[in-house]
Structure 1
């Protein structure tokens, strides 16, 4: 392997592994696993837009995510004029230049002081204490959804009846999206991750318009929700939050707060139904559910990789020199199945205890950009899964496992439908 890098480029990307490759979308576990065993750091194509360094092994992924020398926004690289490939990608999908800004410039792509400032504005809504206070409401929403499932016909598509309704209801209540608008947000969210230009552009445009209208409503009639709190931060101290940041914040929080959690729940149900021994163990030892959720995040989490990170200086990563301005793509799914980190990583084990630091996986990321809503996502998954398998002991797939359809969304693992029978 070479010990010198080439600058991130949009030149000839042929011959490089690509996140859009059909084999990586169809089977990311084996696909990224093969790349991990090929090399810990290797050149790759980021969705056909730019060249990047793909980082595949746990130790290196963990190191990159925790290293402040790797930043999320290319504009944070000193002395570099690096185009933002996310913004370019969004434009290639038909988003207008104005709307694309709301996807490319947000808390997820901010760094250093800006990131700290933005994260501080909402962090109180996602503390362990605040999330614990939300648990009764999460349990009530779940119980209502399961009541509807019990009373309805079979088979049941859990994606539409449980996996999406729970997290979108919770995050919309927390943020302040009116109930009447929530079906639209669910539809817009699915369109935005579809990679279909005919759907993405209009969806984001409608999201932005909806948030702008909501801000005007809350400005004249504030309530006890996060939108009203952000408006106060904007209006009382204009330097804290710009107009564009205010809109972007709401779009980002609602999208990030329901899409990945919905598919974590769906992926987890499918995984557990394929491992009845693990379900039996959880019924015998329900205290294992929090541990089980961590294992499910590792084993079948929604996010397969993070956004690009950019080196602010020359950084040696193993045998590869990452030059200032070069991008790297930490591959979470490869790291979470790294046999150097886990014993029998391919085995789903709800009793698995963390190894090494922190949670023992990188399903929610690591470092300064660790998922702000991780505690809420874990709680929603735990409540939903525990209640579902308790309520319907005979729950089973309504189709063979091989017939489950996975959405062709690069970087994510998402079931299109999850048909089940209650048993």
Structure 2
């Protein structure tokens, strides 16, 4: 399997004895690479994209412990009494993002700490409850059916790219309907999302500016013509009580929800489909027993989830975490892909097993993170994946790859596991 290059590798090799998150070898095979780091120790000294030092934590119990401990914060400014460098600020500088634009990322629901994180999450959490998502299922099924019906029309030389024509259009349609993005604007959001996650210096800042300007315009339009959607509700909250949601936070919330709400789900479905096509025994098992779909989605999220690492956390004080000492201000990188293949937690962890029985209670993996920053849209992503896999296997029982597995290309993006294309024959 080949990969395209990333420009964020300028600091790789500067400290040869310390693993760098931007190392192309980690992007090409994160399961092996991070697996080696996992066996070196519970916390291994490494480097972030900008070359700054951090601790890399990879074992399942330790990853959950860091993510669930409020003594680790998401933003460096939350570390009291110390001038801690923020790796995300340096990353924005590397990407050429103007300071006034960086503000739309600095205060997102993904990056803030309590009390701001609690306030922002509460504003949108009711939209993503299990009950609300269940009510949305018929619409997800209809969008899925329409996309599958149209797939044969997209065939070129007998092959269809599922990434382009199925795994992306499904989640972007769902999240845009939920948030309130007009249908005419959705193709542009798809392109913006693609550009944003590519992390190309120069283009990143331009794309971000275009998105922010568009959201401001969308807010003006929706304020004049409100509807029954999340965007209109957030606008009412902002207008009625600016202390609960500032202007910058309103724009950041829409930006975050739409991009995060389709990018990761698209690649969960893409990665999962490739896994099923290259594991015919598991595919046959799922086709024979559709009741396995919820369990199968969890196993696919564990085995080939799209998010490899979390945002960097910072120790807000000197602390000892079950025998791991951290100094105040230390940067800590937790690695989900290594935790989800940890043999201490999962027997035969490299084997895809859709019948795998979870150990203990709760979610059997950390693919959606853990703790206060557990993925807000996890229930929606799981539902979309269940519907997508089930409908795809029913509609096209002879579905197969149009190229050899080793010819599939993945984007060499640090911390992300995503196919650039998934050509199949129906």
The normalised TM-score by structure 1 is 0.95
Counterpart in 2 of 1:394?
Answer: 398
Separation (CA, whole Å) in 2 of partners of 1:96 and 1:385 = 41
Counterpart in 2 of 1:353?
Answer: 357
- For the Cα contact (< 8 Å) 1:13–1:50, is it kept in 2? no
User: Does the alignment pair 1:82 with 2:84?
Assistant: yes
Separation (CA, whole Å) in 2 of partners of 1:274 and 1:27 = 17
Pick aligned residue for 1:321 from 317, 321, 325: 325
Counterpart in 2 of 1:262?
Answer: 266
Counterpart in 2 of 1:4?
Answer: none
Counterpart in 1 of 2:71?
Answer: 69
Displacement of 1:356 in angstroms is 2.7
Counterpart in 2 of 1:162?
Answer: 166
Separation (CA, whole Å) in 2 of partners of 1:300 and 1:114 = 32
Displacement of 1:77 in angstroms is 1.1
Displacement of 1:173 in angstroms is 0.7
Separation (CA, whole Å) in 1 of partners of 2:411 and 2:134 = 32
Counterpart in 2 of 1:250?
Answer: 254
Residues 32-43 of structure 1: pairs in structure 2 closer than 5 A = 32-43=34-45
Counterpart in 2 of 1:370?
Answer: 374
Counterpart in 2 of 1:108?
Answer: 110
Displacement of 1:97 in angstroms is 1.2
User: Does the alignment pair 1:222 with 2:187?
Assistant: no
SS, match of residue 90 in structure 2: helix
Residues 137-176 of structure 1: pairs in structure 2 closer than 5 A = 137-153=139-155, 154-176=158-180
Counterpart in 2 of 1:25?
Answer: 27
Displacement of 1:95 in angstroms is 1.4
- For the Cα contact (< 8 Å) 2:167–2:267, is it kept in 1? yes
Counterpart in 1 of 2:61?
Answer: 59
Displacement of 1:49 in angstroms is 3.7
Write the deviation string for residues 139-187 of structure 1: whole angstroms up to 9, x where unpaired.
0000000000034422000000001000001111111111111111110
SS, match of residue 106 in structure 1: coil
SS, match of residue 384 in structure 2: helix
Separation (CA, whole Å) in 2 of partners of 1:330 and 1:234 = 34
Displacement of 1:357 in angstroms is 3.9
- For the Cα contact (< 8 Å) 2:58–2:338, is it kept in 1? yes
User: Does the alignment pair 1:420 with 2:424?
Assistant: yes
Q: Which segments of 5 or more consecutive residues in structure 1 lack a partner in the other structure?
A: 1-11
- For the Cα contact (< 8 Å) 2:42–2:324, is it kept in 1? no
Separation (CA, whole Å) in 2 of partners of 1:152 and 1:207 = 29
Counterpart in 2 of 1:134?
Answer: 136
Please, which moves more after superposition, 49-58 or 366-375? 49-58
User: Does the alignment pair 1:296 with 2:289?
Assistant: no
Separation (CA, whole Å) in 1 of partners of 2:257 and 2:123 = 12
Displacement of 1:87 in angstroms is 2.2
Question: After the TM superposition, which segments of 4 or more aligned residues of structure 1 sit over 3 Å from their partners?
Answer: 12-15, 317-320
Aligned pair count reads: 411
Cα distance, 1:245–1:13 mapped onto 2, change above 3 Å: farther
Write the deviation string for residues 191-232 of structure 1: whole angstroms up to 9, x where unpaired.
111121132111111110110001111111111111111011
Displacement of 1:318 in angstroms is 4.8
- For the Cα contact (< 8 Å) 1:87–1:101, is it kept in 2? no
Please, which moves more after superposition, 387-396 or 95-104? 95-104
SS, match of residue 406 in structure 1: strand
Cα distance, 1:97–1:13 mapped onto 2, change above 3 Å: farther
Cα distance, 1:14–1:98 mapped onto 2, change above 3 Å: farther
User: Does the alignment pair 1:276 with 2:314?
Assistant: no
CA RMSD of aligned residues (A): 1.1
Counterpart in 1 of 2:206?
Answer: 202
Displacement of 1:13 in angstroms is 4.7
User: Does the alignment pair 1:385 with 2:389?
Assistant: yes
Separation (CA, whole Å) in 1 of partners of 2:71 and 2:49 = 24
Counterpart in 1 of 2:47?
Answer: 45
